[in-house]
């Protein structure tokens, strides 16, 4: 879903977004890009529809409903 939305936003196909994500992750995990770095962490908030249970717990500081996500990538 995120790749479809990103593709729509930038007028590219979902498959192009998928390739770009894969190539970026591959590059970031390459020891030649960031020598002596063993991993990266990134996070973002994904907008969601308001849930019917515990709805106020999903309202972020920008006042929309979202969940927090994190990606960890280690090159060991």
Q: Are residues 28 and 43 in the same domain?
A: no
Q: Are residues 76 and 43 in the same domain?
A: yes
pLDDT number for residue 75: 66
Number of separate domains in the chain: 2
pLDDT surpassing 90 at residue 36: no
Q: Are residues 31 and 44 in the same domain?
A: no
| Whole-number Å distance between alpha carbons of 4 and 8 | 6
Q: Are residues 31 and 19 in the same domain?
A: yes
Domain that holds residue 61: 38-76
Per DSSP, the three-state class of 53 is coil
**Span 7-30, mean pLDDT?**
85
Q: Are residues 18 and 47 in the same domain?
A: no
- Classify each residue of 25-53 as buried b or exposed e, where b means 16 or more C-beta atoms within 10 Å of its C-beta: eeeebeeeeeeeeeeeeeeeeeeeeeeee
Average pLDDT, the chain: 85
pLDDT number for residue 21: 86
pLDDT number for residue 57: 95
Higher-pLDDT residue of 35 and 12 is 12
pLDDT number for residue 72: 79
Q: Are residues 53 and 28 in the same domain?
A: no
């Amino acid at each position: 879903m995120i790749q479809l939305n990103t593709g729509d936003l930038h007028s590219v196909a979902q498959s192009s977004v998928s390739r770009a994500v894969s190539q970026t992750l591959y590059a970031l995990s390459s020891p030649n890009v960031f020598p002596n770095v063993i991993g990266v962490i990134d996070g973002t908030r994904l907008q969601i529809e308001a849930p019917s249970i515990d709805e106020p717990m999903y309202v972020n500081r920008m006042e929309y409903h979202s969940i927090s996500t994190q990606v960890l990538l280690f090159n060991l």
